Amino acid sequence: MKTILVTGGLGYIGSHTVVELLQNNFHVIIVDDMSNSEKFILDNIEKVAGKRPVFFPFDLKRKELLYQVFEAYEIDGCINFAAFKAVGESQEKPLDYYENNLFSLINILQEFKARNISNFIFSSSCTVYGQADQQPIDENTPLKMPESSYGKTKQMGEEILKDFATAYKKKVSLLRYFNPIGSHPTALLGELPIGVPNNLVPYVTQTASGIREKLSIWGNDYDTPDGTAVRDYVYVVDLAKAHVKALQKLMAENSDTVIDIYNLGTGKGSSVLEVVESFERANEVKVPYQICERRAGDITIAYANADKAERELGWKAETSLDEALRTTWEWQKYLESRK
């Protein structure tokens, strides 16, 4: 049985991926500082997967604690989710973002180097493409330095990993997520937005449940069919499965150095209004909204060409927008039942 370190394994995408790993017979060790999660997620992972991962609550900047984990376990690979991810906040606290997202990454890579471990999967983002000149976006689309410090940590993380793989002959996979949405079909795992959500789907969900009065749609004068901005919303469980496939591919590679890069999206763009309509249809609820000015820094359109992931990993996003949004609503009801 292979042992995988999952950093940020109690987070949104991390927790779903841990379940998939456990269900595929990996031994999982989670390191998570709980800065954006809660302990019940660990219990729920066990409920869903029937196994409890090993869990260490600490900040990955604590090198000495990380060292002890690597001493205690023979680790075969890492999926690195641990990162701050609030775009707006990153503009106010850039140093916190660089320190947290990059120091923790480097600390793990130092352990990998010292112990001759390979197989590293990095959570990247379609933010590395900025507003691409062409749609859909494939992996050869030129990168543009993102505006936010958050986005920059993703692009810098990718560069660090490319150098790491090349210099030390390691296998890495950079997974560029489009917009992850939805919750586990059991309604036991999902996103835990802290405070007022910035992302569209958590805001829509909280509006439908009455926590927020109205959704603000940031702009309806974009050059898109209905004027609202277009994104590629990919179901989180589909996304989680891609991690397992990317890991299995890395582990099966014979060459010393591998740098895999995959876009993970559905290949279909949906506008903000289409998301609202889909949510209302799937859940038979109303989402009151108002049209507002554009949000600073937002791009008009981004959707993936994910053919490479299908070709090389045998992965394809399978879940419809309606279905993904139905799971989100079930998760919201679960959260409210816990209060």
- Active-site residue list: 150
**Nearer CB in complex with ligand UDP: 119/319:** 319
- In degrees rounded to 5, what are phi and psi of residue 26? -90, 150
| Largest distance between two CA atoms of the chain | 56
**Nearer CB in complex with ligand UDP: 56/97:** 97
Look-up: residue for tokens 């509006």?
207
- Residue facing ligand UDP at closest CB distance: 229
Name residue 306's amino acid.
A
DSSP readout, 137-190?
A: B-TTSPP---SSHHHHHHHHHHHHHHHHHHHHT-EEEEEEE-EEE---TTSS--
**Nearer CB in complex with ligand UDP: 60/229:** 229
In angstroms, rounded to a whole number, what is the distance separating the alpha carbons of residues 164 and 95? 23
- Regarding beta strands 27-31 and 3-7, do their DSSP bridges make them parallel or antiparallel, or are they unpaired? parallel
In angstroms, rounded to a whole number, what is the distance separating the alpha carbons of residues 331 and 3? 30
**Nearer CB in complex with ligand UDP: 78/217:** 217
| Residue 202 beta carbon to ligand UDP: minimum distance, rounded to whole angstroms | 8
Look-up: residue for tokens 């990168």?
143
**Nearer CB in complex with ligand UDP: 28/276:** 276
| Residue 84 beta carbon to ligand UDP: minimum distance, rounded to whole angstroms | 14
**Nearer CB in complex with ligand UDP: 112/233:** 233
Could you tell me the two tokens for 310?
Answer: 């299908």
In angstroms, rounded to a whole number, what is the distance separating the alpha carbons of residues 75 and 30? 12
Closest CA to 155 of 138, 176, 179: 176
CA 262 to chain centre: 13
Closest CA to 137 of 173, 176, 100: 176
Look-up: residue for tokens 């494939």?
138
- The residue ranges that bind ligand UDP (CB under 6 A) are 179, 198-200, 203, 215-218, 229, 231, 272, 295, 298
